[in-house]
Amino acid sequence: MSVGAPRGLASSGQKPIAEILHPLSAAEEPLSVSVTVNVEGDKEAGLTNGTPVETSSPASTSSLFNRLQLDDDLEADVRDPYTESTETRDLFVTVDDPKKHVSTMETYITYRVSTKTTRVEFDLPEYCVRRRYQDFDWLRIKLEDSQPTHLIPPLPEKFVMKGVVDRFSEEFVETRMKALDKFLKRVADHPVLSFNPHLNAFLTAKDLNKRQGLALLTKVGESVKHVAGGYKLRARPAEFCAMGEYLDTFNQKLGTIDRIAQRILKEQSEYLTELREYGTVYSSWVGSEEELRRPLEGVAGCVTTCCGALEDLGENMSQDFLPVLREYVLYIESMKNVLRKRDQSQAEYEGRLEAAILRKQEDRTPMPLEVEKCQDKVECFNADLKADWERWQSNKRQDFKQLLTGMADKNINNYEKCQASWESLITLLQDKQTEDKMSETN
């Protein structure tokens, strides 16, 4: 392999690092600025998802952000490269059945993790184990350590504010269970993470020994944690800069929506309290106004219906809408973490390449093997990050389309219930008026 700038650098229009540092004399063999890898014969090297490397300039941040479109045509055109039909998938996982455990030392919740698979890596076709939150946290840490070039799906926050949220309440446990189920499904559907031995152990072991781990795989990520010591990244390629800027913009949008949604929930809760008291007034009025019994009971019934509809709307926002926003805020942090690791890997490569070129100028020593290894690491980061980015974007479009469609349906259902209730009251009042006229005539 000839040593030069990684594809991510070359495609951004930057000069190769070797050329920037020192132009070699004509008598010396120049460093190649391209990397050619033979994959299945003479096919052109591409990303892990089979997409050739882009050489055009990356899209702007605004155009990337505009990719959050919800029309069906876009969803049909932009396919998740790893999406598989139910017939071709071979690993199915489910998290359900939360149970509370009380001991003298602690109180905690466990969840049932069910697995069905046809993969040869598993000894049995079905497994059923119980796991608590810290087991899911262990799995994520192991995946992050052993697969440092990949985006690891986030877990829901571990800590909650005491006195504000009861972590053993049915609502909180249900919301956390859904988040854990989504986390595990995303890992199981990933073309690389789903084959990680740590996931296998998590899904199959009755007694998960978190102390043992899998030392060999864990060591893969150790070098990434400590790279770039003393090196400074010269310039992040433009396509990865666009990713970082998009994440900042997306994070700001989600934060604003979350703050406003929290205020709406608070105001709805206060309004619901007032509305219930409002309905009680009409109910108590009935005892002193027999002639107005039916209209007053009708109004009280309408207010009760509106209270129930508003309560359902608030539950949907707190249990379905807000958790998705928080998940993607955590996803953004995970993606930024992978970007930082990629930058560290590039900085290490640049530093080692600079040192190697200086040595070559002095004593004409061959290019060290460690420089090629660093270049391969950057190539791996670039390819894996691009593939995971496209997968994340596809999942995001699907999630937000479902989220916003569900929110619209819930609001429509809320107003339809209220409208139907008040319309029935008008019919009741008209009937009462007709009865009164008939009684006066008689």
Residue 18 in domain: no
**Are residues 246 and 333 located together in one domain of the fold?**
yes
Of 31-45, 154-168, 390-404, highest mean pLDDT: 390-404
Query: How far are the Cα atoms of 135, 141, 323, 388 from residue 151, in angstroms, in the given order?
Result: 19, 12, 20, 6
Would you list the DSSP string of 106-145? -EEEEEEEEEEE--TTSSSSEEEEEEEHHHHHHHHHHHHH
Calculate mean pLDDT across residues 396-410.
Answer: 94
Using the predicted structure, report yes or no on whether residue 213 has a pLDDT greater than 70.
no
What pLDDT score does 442 carry? 63
Q: Three-state SS for 15?
A: coil
Q: Three-state SS for 13?
A: coil
Split at pLDDT 50, 70, 90, the class of 333 is very high
Residue 41 in domain: no
Using the predicted structure, report yes or no on whether residue 39 has a pLDDT greater than 50.
no
Please state, in angstroms and rounded to a whole number, the distance separating the CA atoms of residues 278 and 275.
5
**Are residues 237 and 204 located together in one domain of the fold?**
no
| Neighbour count for residue 439 (Cβ, 10 Å) | 8
**CATH label of the domain that carries residue 132:** 3.30.1520.10
Split at pLDDT 50, 70, 90, the class of 224 is very low
Split at pLDDT 50, 70, 90, the class of 235 is confident
| In contact, 53 and 45? CB cutoff 8 Å | yes
Domain that holds residue 111: 88-208
Using the predicted structure, report yes or no on whether residue 179 has a pLDDT greater than 90.
yes
Candidates 3, 28, 70, 18; CA nearest to 354 is 18
Backbone region of residue 364 per phi and psi (left: phi > 0; alpha: psi in -120 to 50; beta: other values): left
Calculate mean pLDDT across residues 387-402.
Answer: 95
Residue 64 in domain: no
**CATH label of the domain that carries residue 246:** 1.20.1270.60
Please state, in angstroms and rounded to a whole number, the distance separating the CA atoms of residues 292 and 325.
48
**Are residues 199 and 277 located together in one domain of the fold?**
no
Q: What percent of the chain has pLDDT over 90?
A: 53
Residue 13 in domain: no
**Are residues 109 and 178 located together in one domain of the fold?**
yes
**Are residues 175 and 245 located together in one domain of the fold?**
no
Output phi, psi for 208, to 5 deg: -75, 110
Calculate mean pLDDT across residues 303-307.
Answer: 96
Calculate mean pLDDT across residues 336-364.
Answer: 85
What pLDDT score does 429 carry? 85
Calculate mean pLDDT across residues 181-207.
Answer: 95
**Are residues 311 and 240 located together in one domain of the fold?**
yes
- For residue 201, the one-letter residue type is A
Query: How far are the Cα atoms of 106, 159, 371, 387 from residue 99, in angstroms, in the given order?
Result: 14, 19, 52, 37
What pLDDT score does 427 carry? 87
What pLDDT score does 294 carry? 87
Please state, in angstroms and rounded to a whole number, the distance separating the CA atoms of residues 106 and 424.
53
Q: Write down the pTM of the prediction.
A: 0.72
Q: What is the pLDDT of residues 253-268, one digit of tens each?
A: 999 999 999 999 999 9
Of 41-50, 112-121, 230-239, highest mean pLDDT: 112-121
**Are residues 179 and 317 located together in one domain of the fold?**
no
What pLDDT score does 412 carry? 96
Lowest mean pLDDT among 70-79, 122-131, 135-144, 352-361: 70-79
| Neighbour count for residue 136 (Cβ, 10 Å) | 23
**Are residues 258 and 199 located together in one domain of the fold?**
no
Q: Which pair of tokens denotes residue 376? A: 């391969």
Calculate mean pLDDT across residues 170-194.
Answer: 93
What pLDDT score does 159 carry? 62
Q: Where are the alpha helices (DSSP H) in 214-321?
A: 215-225, 238-285, 293-316
Task: Give the neighbor-by-neighbor strand order of the sheet with 126-132.
Answer: 91-102, 107-117, 126-132
Candidates 392, 376, 379, 403; CA nearest to 336 is 392
More confident residue, 345 or 69: 345
Using DSSP bridges, classify how beta strands 126-132 and 91-102 pair: parallel, antiparallel or unpaired.
Answer: unpaired
CA torsion angle 381 184 410 278 (round to 10): -120
| In contact, 13 and 5? CB cutoff 8 Å | no
Candidates 330, 322, 331, 172; CA nearest to 258 is 322
Using the predicted structure, report yes or no on whether residue 147 has a pLDDT greater than 90.
yes
**Are residues 191 and 295 located together in one domain of the fold?**
no
Q: What is the pLDDT of residues 4-38, one digit of tens each?
A: 444 444 444 444 444 433 333 333 343 333 333 33
Average pLDDT across the chain, whole number: 78
Using the predicted structure, report yes or no on whether residue 225 has a pLDDT greater than 50.
no
Residue 73 in domain: no
Q: What is the pLDDT of residues 263-285, one digit of tens each?
A: 999 999 999 999 999 999 999 99
Split at pLDDT 50, 70, 90, the class of 207 is confident
| Neighbour count for residue 17 (Cβ, 10 Å) | 22
Output phi, psi for 128, to 5 deg: -145, 115
Split at pLDDT 50, 70, 90, the class of 431 is confident
Residue 48 in domain: no
How would you class 71 by CB atoms within 10 Å of its CB: exposed for 0-12, middle for 13-18, buried for 19 or more? exposed
**Are residues 385 and 247 located together in one domain of the fold?**
yes
Using the predicted structure, report yes or no on whether residue 66 has a pLDDT greater than 60.
no
More confident residue, 429 or 139: 139
Calculate mean pLDDT across residues 109-134.
Answer: 95
3-state helix, strand, coil in the chain (%, to 5): 60, 10, 30
Q: Which pair of tokens denotes residue 108? A: 């905690």
Domain boundary among 166, 193, 208: 208
Domain boundary among 161, 193, 208: 208
**Are residues 201 and 288 located together in one domain of the fold?**
no
Calculate mean pLDDT across residues 184-204.
Answer: 95
Lowest mean pLDDT among 42-46, 115-119, 398-402: 42-46
What pLDDT score does 52 carry? 35
**Are residues 289 and 350 located together in one domain of the fold?**
yes
Number of domains the chain is built from? 2
Calculate mean pLDDT across residues 154-168.
Answer: 69
More confident residue, 236 or 241: 241
Domain boundary among 159, 193, 208: 208
Residue 3 in domain: no
Calculate mean pLDDT across residues 408-426.
Answer: 94
Residue 214 in domain: no
What pLDDT score does 352 carry? 86
